[in-house]
Amino acid sequence: MTTEKLIAFTGYQFSSKELLEQALTHRSYSRNVNNERLEFLGDSVLNLIISNFIYRRFENASEGRLSRIRASLVKQDTLARVAREIGLGDHILLGGGELKSGGFRRASILSDALEALIAAIYLDSDYLQAEKVVLQLFDKLLQAVDVGSSLKDAKTKLQEYLQGRQKSLPSYRVVQTSGKSHDQVFTVSCELGDLGLHSEGRGSSRKKAEQQAAYNILQMLNI
């Protein structure tokens, strides 16, 4: 496994090559030794590092705003973006099926691998080293955070817009579910009865599809 570029991007040299390899091994490649457990740990380590950073940086931010900032930084799409920037997909070990379907480009696989990599660094060294790597990888995103801007998700924005105008709340409904159980795509409709508006959103979960549908409505309303 050639990981020189990965080491250069993270600035970290592993003592345990086995731990690094496990972090980069998808379940489709090996059912016995893969990165699922590391992903579980990495999720918590990442959340703690980001939480600690924004807590100290934004001293006057409320709990709700801090939660929204953190959510925007640790969501799947953001993690996949960071993973792509360091070329993580080129190093993930995937089974034949995932390789053929372009799994190395899939946001879910990339984000999981990044979390596993963070956990591996933590286990191979300590929290401070993991923190150093995470803050380096997320530096541009962290510096771009504007605590004064609205970080509310699309569904919240839409709900507040309607409540402020004494309109009925939107109705969300799953209209289609496709794909295999481990890689499903949900299609959800969002309807505003009072305004006669309707949109559909797609996502890898019902929640994400609802957010996309709400976002589409906001675009219709020029919000």
φ, ψ of residue 136 to 5 degrees: the values are -70, -45
Q: Are 1 and 21 in contact (CB under 8 A)?
A: yes
Dihedral sign of CA atoms 41, 37, 78, 150 in order: negative
What is the set of active-site residues? 43, 115
How far the first Cα of the chain sits from its last, in Å, is 48
| CA-to-CA separations, 219 to 37, 43, 205, 212, in angstroms, rounded | 39, 32, 21, 11
Do 181 and 204 form a contact (C-beta atoms < 8 A)? no
Q: What's the chain's length in residues? A: 223
Structure tokens at 209: 């599809």
